[in-house]
Structure 1
Amino acid sequence: MIQLKQVAAANFHYKRYSLDYFLDSVTRIGIEHIELWASGPHFHLDYYSPQDVQNLKRKMKERGLKVICLTPEQSVYPISISHPDPEYRKKSVEFFCRHIEMASFLECSQMLVTTGLAYLDVDETETWKWCRESLGEICRTAEKEGVYLPVEAFTSYSTHVFNSAEHISRMINEVGSSNLKGLADTDVMAVTGKDSIHDFIRELGDNLTYVHFVDGSPGGHLVPGEGNLPLEEALQALNESGYKGYLGLELLDRRYVLDPEKAMRDSLAWFEKRLG
């Protein structure tokens, strides 16, 4: 059975507060596991010295916090492993490899990967090939560092490379690395309308290693209970499948940025009523 300790906080909606505030906040709430969004203003690697990273690691250890997924900002930054320009892809691969090494240093076993934007006026077969080649390169670093890579499907507004569980499953098979895994996002799947959590469980099986468990209207990435998604059904399905991964609270709606701790407390209260 899924336990409350499998719920992971994330710092996305804490961006108007310092990273120290986020660490103190989740400690106050009693959450021990975090997904660390690696972006400005909190943790943009280009602005962090080795000593800064060492200090961050120390702060998390002092609070008893463990990073269970490192998520580099890759949606609005110039990152795309499916871009036609080989130099662009090369830089994107290097970006992910640097973050894999950082995940390893932080004793974090997972780093989230997405395809990046892909042009609609470029042949989809070529786009898929570039993405597969890039993931193969990234996986070599992941294998060396012992880090797993859950890849996420997005809506077609973000990319048309991965929009379904079947896309993820097919790419895992084609890349052929045991470090390439899959991520399910309850709100994204509702927006795309292509899959349910049952489809992700069936398609990915043990390769489903992380779930962004959030509500939506659909859309919004809301606190569980504030939207209209069938989250109790999703939780039951994950329970019945024997899911052992974490449930990440990727709260993105701007309504939460002024009082992020309340949103986190409200989320935890929803789970406390339903988990042991």
Structure 2
Amino acid sequence: MKLGLFTSGYQREPVEHMFQDAARFGYDYIELWGGRPHAYPPDLNRYGTQELRSLSDRYGIPISIFTPELNAYPYNFMLGTETQRQSCVEYIKQCMDAASALGCQATLISAAHAGNLTSREAIWDRLVRTLQELVPHAERLGQKLILEPLTPYESNTVTSANDLYSVFQAVPSEALVGMCDVVAPFVQHESISAYFDKLGQKMYHMHIVDSSGSDDVHLVPGEGRLPLPELMYELKERDYHGSATIELVTNYLNEPRFYARRAIQNLRQMMQEGDSHAY
């Protein structure tokens, strides 16, 4: 299983630090957060991706996944007028173009909160229409579009493996795939293993961190209540060879280098223990 460094926590650091740390701490790839100052898609599309690609080559760290910010201002394709939705669709297409220029295999999106008064029927219609507009663009680029379920603290749209399964039935495409951020099932007492059983080959990617079990905060592996050693055993026995990003976000902005090192050291140790206990 390949482990990735998420770059949101590095937004106050020079861009080179992300690649330096990924290389020296033993990460396999970068999952690039699409925000300023480093990788806002309109900036990349306007001024090019040369610096990021040069750093990727220099440090031998590929940028495998591009993850634009879609849960906060100003972009959320599940909220607002139809004009705002269409604007967000065009923005995500720009994100996929930037990802392609960076050499990424995939763009990762999430469906954020659709508003407190929105009916389930209206939520579903808006979600499906949006994905139907985005998937052909991913197909043309030869890219995967990863849909990430969020926690119920963050969204009322896609929060479970069942939600993903329903999406794949409604929008059939090899380009559209799913993932599991382990915090989402853990905080709502859903089975993490069920993602693999229900989604099959559509289970493309993971975010692995720790959790208190009572909020959406992403903690360094080993510093919460999630049974991560047992999860490592399970992934080994399931022969999971996909990618897993250690998604530390804004909780560690002050010292991202310290926590990026601790996070992969802790998780690598759990993986080694999983190897020794696997049958």
Same fold, judged at TM 0.5 (above)? yes
Task: Note closer, same or farther for the CA distance 1:196–1:140 as it changes in structure 2 (3 Å cut).
Answer: same
Q: Which moved more, 1:74-83 or 1:164-173?
A: 74-83
Partner of 1:213: 208
Q: What whole-Å deviation, never above 9, does each CA across 1:42-84 have from its counterpart, x for those lacking one?
A: 2112334644412221221121111121100111132223235
Partner of 1:182: 178
Aligned counterparts of 1:269 and 1:157: Cα–Cα separation in 2: 29
Unaligned runs of 5+ in 2: 273-279
Unaligned runs of 5+ in 1: none
> Is 1:202 equivalent to 2:197 in the alignment?
yes
Q: Secondary structure at the match of 1:117?
A: coil
- TM norm structure 1: 0.92
Partner of 1:242: 239
Partner of 2:226: 229
Partner of 1:137: 133
Following TM superposition, by how much is the alpha carbon of 1:102 offset from its aligned partner in structure 2, in angstroms? 1.2
Q: What whole-Å deviation, never above 9, does each CA across 1:18-65 have from its counterpart, x for those lacking one?
A: 212222222222323010001022211233464441222122112111
Task: Note closer, same or farther for the CA distance 1:99–1:52 as it changes in structure 2 (3 Å cut).
Answer: same
Partner of 2:275: none
Following TM superposition, by how much is the alpha carbon of 1:16 offset from its aligned partner in structure 2, in angstroms? 2.0
On the 8 A contact 2:4/2:29 being kept in 1, the answer is yes
On the 8 A contact 1:224/1:231 being kept in 2, the answer is yes
- The residue type paired with residue 239 of structure 1 is K
Aligned counterparts of 2:250 and 2:85: Cα–Cα separation in 1: 30
On the 8 A contact 2:218/2:248 being kept in 1, the answer is yes
The number of residue pairs the alignment matches comes to 270
> Is 1:64 equivalent to 2:69 in the alignment?
no
Partner of 2:253: 257
Give structure 1 regions of 4+ aligned residues with deviation exceeding 6 angstroms.
none
Partner of 1:115: 111
Aligned counterparts of 2:207 and 2:137: Cα–Cα separation in 1: 24
Following TM superposition, by how much is the alpha carbon of 1:157 offset from its aligned partner in structure 2, in angstroms? 2.7
Q: Which moved more, 1:180-189 or 1:38-47?
A: 38-47
Partner of 2:277: none
Q: Which moved more, 1:233-242 or 1:8-17?
A: 233-242
Q: Secondary structure at the match of 1:184?
A: strand
RMSD after superposition: 1.7
Following TM superposition, by how much is the alpha carbon of 1:171 offset from its aligned partner in structure 2, in angstroms? 0.3
2:84 pairs, out of 73, 81, 88, with 88
2:49 pairs, out of 47, 53, 57, with 53
Partner of 2:276: none
Q: Which moved more, 1:106-115 or 1:184-193?
A: 184-193
Task: Note closer, same or farther for the CA distance 1:48–1:84 as it changes in structure 2 (3 Å cut).
Answer: closer
Q: What whole-Å deviation, never above 9, does each CA across 1:164-215 have from its counterpart, x for those lacking one?
A: 110011101111111111110111222233x221111111111111100000
- The residue type paired with residue 245 of structure 1 is G
